[in-house]
């Protein structure tokens, strides 16, 4: 039986590799010739009639590649990194919604207004499903499959769990972060990403190695070569360690299937994302204060000592970067202003994690979204306290706290990866944990005189201003789900209240206790890996109150997010 299984498995892998290669070649040919695009979308295609209004919710913001101070060789390096990113873009669409990719490419040459608007909105979402409208379809009527392109379309979580009970030898591969799952006759099989997407990963790896040749930073060149190897093996551990060992790199890159937000079935599959970054030296220097206190904040968390492993002696690299190009899960839909990576708990235990802050994206979010929303929803006196600096501080602590708390879940069967233990709820839980423990940590820094006491109200106001910005995404997206829960919990505790004029006020006296209690709840859920506790908690708090819906109408003219416009061409093969 075992021998026969591996024969079938190898045959399946070869079949998937062949089909992926053919699909890539066909999509490239289609994009180059534009033959399918001449007539645009079919007239009977069901498309949301309000595309223009939906597009207006995203503010186009230029993110230029600033070449001043960069040598010709360094500019070549950036261009080569951008080239590599393009291949991950092509994989991401296939993970998100392959049918949307076909439609997007078919509209390339159309000059019809509806087609142009549709193509842009497809690009923003990288799918036919509207991120800011609970992932409802804006093309056709088909609901977004929870497993997107990671699993067979109609596969359910119960089916997977039953299957792995009957075939325990396949559980590790099916639940692995770097595989996709397909039916092969009557069996589920997990195909490694490096095989399923080899047609894109091989040229991506080649581009990374070419970039390494252009780098004057030996450590960065070593990392690029290791990451190129990882793309073709799905083993990112060695390259993750090398990434964390970089010391104040002038150039850096995110380049991996790190995040699992898009997997609504099991919550474990990584989607490919990339970002090219250039160091902002002046802003990066300001982070030294926070690096200093990371181990002590971990020790102070409201969690049993055995569930918060020591951070003393571990690396906590932090970088403020300008980001002239992003691809894959970093450029569609929700626009991240910071990141904490890698997510591998083995790396967290051995080295820690890297905190990255995207300065140009953060400036755009604060100026075009956070400040305008806060002025419309918070009492005027408190709205005046919302600031870019306050939002930056809460964001810094959010990213730091992604790497704090438990590293693994302590379950009856032993130590388990938290993501696997919690399942599809993990992304929302982890975002909420980082938010809340981040604010707990800011209070700790103020109480220990590391930050000025008079700034605490500014931090709370900026945090609440950020909540109002994020809940506008609805609860289909992990960050929106997390912050909707936070808003409802804080309202229940009286730390946020709605006034008769429809605006909200913060009770600064109640915030510290409410934050500490909520941090304890979320940290304990992760530490115990209690899936039902997580699901019940979010079920209790994840519905938007009617009063909040009414108040948000006052901010209906404020963009929901930005739509970045890069100096480099948008391209998907």
Distance between CA atoms of residues 178 and 258, nearest Å:
9
148-204 pLDDT per residue, tens: 999 999 999 999 999 999 999 999 999 999 999 999 999 999 999 999 999 999 999
Beta strands (DSSP E) in 153-200 are 179-184, 187-192
Beta carbons of 113 and 320 less than 8 angstroms apart: no
pLDDT value, residue 33: 32
In angstroms, the first-to-last Cα distance of the chain is 40
Beta carbons of 505 and 499 less than 8 angstroms apart: yes
pLDDT value, residue 39: 52
For the entire predicted model, the pTM comes to 0.82
Beta carbons of 495 and 507 less than 8 angstroms apart: yes
Which portions of the chain are predicted below pLDDT 50? 1-38
Query: 429: burial class by Cβ within 10 Å (0-12, 13-18, 19+)?
Result: buried
pLDDT value, residue 139: 97
- CA nearest 225: which of 197, 257, 255, 258? 255
CA distances, 314 to each of 241, 291, 434 (Å): 12, 11, 19
Distance between CA atoms of residues 264 and 269, nearest Å:
9
Distance between CA atoms of residues 169 and 171, nearest Å:
6
Beta strands (DSSP E) in 338-474 are 338-341, 354-358, 409-411, 414-416
Distance between CA atoms of residues 243 and 224, nearest Å:
9
């Amino acid at each position: 039986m075992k021998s026969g299984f591996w024969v079938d498995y190898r045959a399946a892998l070869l079949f998937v590799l062949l089909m992926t290669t053919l699909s890539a070649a066909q999509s490239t040919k289609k994009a180059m010739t534009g033959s399918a695009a001449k007539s645009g979308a079919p007239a009977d295609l069901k498309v949301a009639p309000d595309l223009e209004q939906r597009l207006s919710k995203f503010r186009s913001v230029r993110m230029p590649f600033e070449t001043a101070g960069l040598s010709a060789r360094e500019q070549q390096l950036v261009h080569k990194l951008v080239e590599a990113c393009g291949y991950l873009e092509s994989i991401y669409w296939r993970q998100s919604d392959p049918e949307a990719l076909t439609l997007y490419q078919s509209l390339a040459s159309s000059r019809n207004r509806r087609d142009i608007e549709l193509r842009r909105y497809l690009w923003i979402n990288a799918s036919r499903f509207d991120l800011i409208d609970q992932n409802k379809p804006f093309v056709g009527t088909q609901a977004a499959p929870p497993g997107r392109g990671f699993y067979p379309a109609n596969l359910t979580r119960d089916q997977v769990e039953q299957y792995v009970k009957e075939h325990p030898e396949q559980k590790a591969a099916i639940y692995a972060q770097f595989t996709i799952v397909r039916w092969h006759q009557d069996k589920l099989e997990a195909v490694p990403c490096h095989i399923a997407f080899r047609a894109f990963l091989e040229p991506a790896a080649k581009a990374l190695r070419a970039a390494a040749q252009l780098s004057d930073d030996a450590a960065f060149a070593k990392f690029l070569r290791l990451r190129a190897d990882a793309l073709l093996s799905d083993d990112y551990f060695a390259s993750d360690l090398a990434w964390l060992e970089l010391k104040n790199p002038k150039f850096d890159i995110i380049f991996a299937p790190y995040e699992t937000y898009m997997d609504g079935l099991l919550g474990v599959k990584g989607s490919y994302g990339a970002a090219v970054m250039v160091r902002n030296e002046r802003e990066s220097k300001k982070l030294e204060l926070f690096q200093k206190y990371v181990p002590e904040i971990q020790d102070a968390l409201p969690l049993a000592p055995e569930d918060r492993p020591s951070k003393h002696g571990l690396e906590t690299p932090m970088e403020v970067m300008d980001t002239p190009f992003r691809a894959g899960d970093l450029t569609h839909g929700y626009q991240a202003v910071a990141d904490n990576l890698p997510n591998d708990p083995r790396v967290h235990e051995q080295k820690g994690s890297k905190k990255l802050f995207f300065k140009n994206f953060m400036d755009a979010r604060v100026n075009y979204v956070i400040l305008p929303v806060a002025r419309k929803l918070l009492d005027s006196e408190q709205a005046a306290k919302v600031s870019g600096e306050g939002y930056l501080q809460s964001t810094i602590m959010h990213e730091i706290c992604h790497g704090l708390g438990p590293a693994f879940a302590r379950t009856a069967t032993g130590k388990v990866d938290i993501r696997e233990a919690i399942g599809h709820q993990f992304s929302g839980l982890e975002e909420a944990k980082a938010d809340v423990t981040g604010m707990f940590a800011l209070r700790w820094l103020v109480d220990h005189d590391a930050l000025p006491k008079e700034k605490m109200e500014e931090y709370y106001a900026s945090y609440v201003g950020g909540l109002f910005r994020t809940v506008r995404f609805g609860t289909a997206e992990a960050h929106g789900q997390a912050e909707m829960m936070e808003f409802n919990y804080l309202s229940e505790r009286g730390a946020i209240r709605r006034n008769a004029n429809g605006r909200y006020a913060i009770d600064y006296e109640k915030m510290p206790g409410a934050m500490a209690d909520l941090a304890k709840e979320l940290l304990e859920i992760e530490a115990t890996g209690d899936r039902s506790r997580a699901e019940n908690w979010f079920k209790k708090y994840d519905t938007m109150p009617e009063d909040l819906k009414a108040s948000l109408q006052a901010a209906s003219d404020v963009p929901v997010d930005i739509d970045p416009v890069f100096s480099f061409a948008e391209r998907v093969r």
